[in-house]
């Protein structure tokens, strides 16, 4: 073992003291200090913590930090190294059950403790999965493949492309459905780009994650997994979907269309919402209940189209009052080929930006307008300023969500540099990213405190 591992995470005075007494991490030790004695196991220390304390797991299971400078002796009595491992069990095979492929990209759907940072890091293995959620075996046969092990904020074009290609391979092999474990932060970005990169899928492609890591008894991971696997195995919805909690209660999940879904709360379980429309279906452990009929149906063929083109020089600009043109200019100067603006209201930015927008147009940089209100359409004819901007080449992107427009623009620019072609790709809905109409129940943010809403909340579990 390397020295760094022998004293994992320790530095400064604490490291000196441990070395001095030859006390490695995982030692079962009696530590004497000026104040008194403690007995327990010396644990690794998180690297981000101070260099002054030694962490000890007491016999009671509690951890404490001991001021290293107060240590007078360490007597080593033994060693007990932790093996944080979910008991692995081979996933049972039943020839009568459908075959579902589970891809892992990272995220908290399966996780374990990381002593380096003290935080939870993702882990993923099929045996672990069965060891912790044996109910999955009642639904289908599962094969798993760890594509990536990254936090969702580190997902990017490379991972999107790789995932799309992996989906293509599995469909060619005749899988019944695909589940993708993913961190929740950027799950809606990945869902959107996969909706474009994987077209005409004959099977469900279900993205899933968890808002409470699976190392917590109240985690939503297990139920989300069951819902998503059931959807992949049994539903007739052959689209890219996000499957996450409907309410915060452990009751049912929602299947959101990959291009209309967004993470809307930093920590709630029911954080994913379909924006400007309604979800495709509800899913519980017992059944899948469609909420609409206009989804693409499962097919027997394998005629999927994988198109992984992507141009990385694309950006989103979230407009704010008093924005200066140098924001746009710097994108132009740095060679960006496409810009998505999240504008105010119906899709506006201030006048001082106009010269920069003109410069972008002259350089054949495409600029699309979306709305930071998230709900509603861009409408640039209502006010003169909108018309002025269209003159400057800014193209309204209807009710495409800003993040969706961003990934779609990267995908479009990856395929062509012909401006007309790009506009055609951008404005032709491929996977529901632009809808012709917003249903009257597509915008519902219930306002707490109002009597009728309170009545509703008291009747139905949150």
Residues that are catalytic: 108, 184-185, 263
Strand, coil or helix: what is 170? Answer: helix
Element at 363 (helix H, strand E): none
Minimal distance, residue 105 CB to another protein, in Å: 21
Burial tier of 333 (Cβ tally within 10 Å: 0-12, 13-18, 19+): exposed
**Interface with another protein (CB under 8 A), residue from 32, 70, 379, 416:** 70
Of residues 239, 234, 274, the one with CA closest to residue 254: 274
**Residue with smaller CB distance to another protein, 289 or 417:** 289
Residues 410-449 that bind another protein (CB under 8 A): 448
Site string for another protein, 237-276 (x = CB under 8 A): -----------xxxx-------------x-xxx-------
Contact status: 60 vs another protein (CB under 8 A) = yes
Whole-number Å distance between alpha carbons of 109 and 76? 38
Minimal distance, residue 162 CB to another protein, in Å: 29
**Residue with smaller CB distance to another protein, 111 or 370:** 111
**Residue with smaller CB distance to another protein, 230 or 260:** 230
From 33-41, 334-342, 351-359, 385-393, span contacting another protein (CB under 8 A): 33-41
* Residue 192, CA distances (Å) to 175, 199, 272, 343 in order: 22, 12, 14, 20
- The structure tokens listed for 89 are 């069990």
349-372 as b/e: b if 16+ CB within 10 A: beeebbebbebbbeeebbbbbbbe
Element at 199 (helix H, strand E): strand 198-199
Contact status: 61 vs another protein (CB under 8 A) = yes
Site string for another protein, 356-395 (x = CB under 8 A): ----------------------------------------
Whole-number Å distance between alpha carbons of 167 and 162? 9
Strand, coil or helix: what is 151? Answer: coil
Contact status: 62 vs another protein (CB under 8 A) = yes
Size of the site for another protein (CB under 8 A): 58
**Residue with smaller CB distance to another protein, 63 or 200:** 63
Contact status: 454 vs another protein (CB under 8 A) = yes
For residue 129, count other CB atoms closer than 10 A to its CB.
27
**Interface with another protein (CB under 8 A), residue from 4, 12, 77, 85:** 85
Strand, coil or helix: what is 315? Answer: strand
Site string for another protein, 99-118 (x = CB under 8 A): --------------x----x
From 98-106, 210-218, 256-264, 276-284, span contacting another protein (CB under 8 A): 210-218
Residue pair 248/269 in contact by the 8 Å Cβ criterion: yes
3-class DSSP string for 400-436: CCHHHHHHHHHHHHHHCCCHHHHHHHHHCCCCCCCCC
Residues 318-347 that bind another protein (CB under 8 A): none
Binding site residues, another protein, CB under 8 A? 35-38, 46, 48-50, 52-53, 55, 57-67, 70, 80, 82-86, 113, 118-120, 132, 211-212, 214-219, 222-223, 248-251, 265, 267-269, 448, 454, 457-458, 461-462
């Amino acid at each position: 073992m390397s020295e760094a591992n022998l004293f994992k995470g320790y530095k400064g005075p604490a490291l000196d003291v441990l070395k001095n007494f030859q006390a490695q991490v995982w030692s079962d030790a009696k530590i004497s200090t000026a104040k008194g004695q403690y007995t327990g196991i010396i644990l690794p220390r998180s690297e981000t913590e101070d260099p002054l304390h030694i962490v000890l797991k007491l016999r009671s299971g509690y951890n404490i930090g001991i001021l290293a400078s107060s240590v007078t002796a360490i007597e080593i009595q033994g060693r007990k190294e932790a093996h944080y491992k979910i008991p692995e069990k081979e996933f049972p095979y039943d020839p009568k059950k459908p075959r579902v492929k589970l891809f892992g990209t990272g995220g908290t759907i399966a996780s374990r403790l990381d002593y380096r940072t003290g935080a939870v890091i993702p882990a993923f293995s099929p045996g672990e999965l069965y060891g912790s959620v044996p109910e999955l075996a009642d639904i289908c046969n599962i094969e798993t493949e760890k594509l990536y092990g990254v936090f969702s904020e580190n997902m990017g074009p490379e991972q999107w492309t790789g995932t799309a290609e992996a989906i293509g391979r599995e469909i060619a092999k005749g899988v019944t459905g695909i589940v993708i474990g993913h961190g929740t932060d950027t799950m809606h970005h990945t869902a959107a780009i996969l909706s474009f990169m994987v077209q005409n899928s004959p099977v469900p492609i279900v993205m899933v994650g968890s808002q409470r890591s699976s190392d917590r008894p109240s985690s939503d991971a297990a139920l989300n997994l069951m819902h998503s696997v059931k959807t992949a195995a049994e539903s007739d919805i052959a689209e890219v979907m996000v499957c996450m909690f409907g309410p915060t209660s452990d009751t049912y999940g929602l299947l959101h269309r990959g291009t209309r879904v967004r993470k809307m709360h930093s920590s709630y379980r029911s954080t994913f919402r379909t924006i400007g429309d309604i979800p495709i279906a509800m899913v519980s452990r017992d059944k899948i209940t469609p909420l609409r009929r206009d989804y693409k149906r499962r097919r027997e063929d394998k005629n999927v189209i994988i198109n992984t083109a992507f141009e990385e020089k694309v950006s989103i600009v979230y407009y704010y009052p008093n924005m200066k043109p140098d924001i746009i200019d710097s994108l132009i100067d740095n060679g960006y080929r496409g810009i998505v603006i999240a504008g105010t209201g119906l899709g506006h930015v201030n006048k001082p930006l106009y010269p920069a927008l003109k410069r972008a147009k002259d350089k054949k940089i495409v600029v699309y307008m979306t709305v930071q209100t998230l709900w509603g359409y861009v409408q640039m004819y209502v006010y003169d300023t909108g018309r002025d901007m269209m003159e400057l080449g800014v193209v309204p992107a209807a009710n495409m969500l800003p993040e969706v427009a961003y990934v779609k623009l990267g995908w479009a620019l990856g395929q062509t540099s012909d401006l007309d072609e790009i506009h055609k790709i951008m404005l032709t809905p491929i996977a529901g990213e632009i809808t012709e109409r917003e249903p009257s129940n597509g915008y519902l943010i219930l306002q707490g405190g109002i009597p009728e809403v309170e009545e509703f909340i008291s009747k139905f579990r949150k």
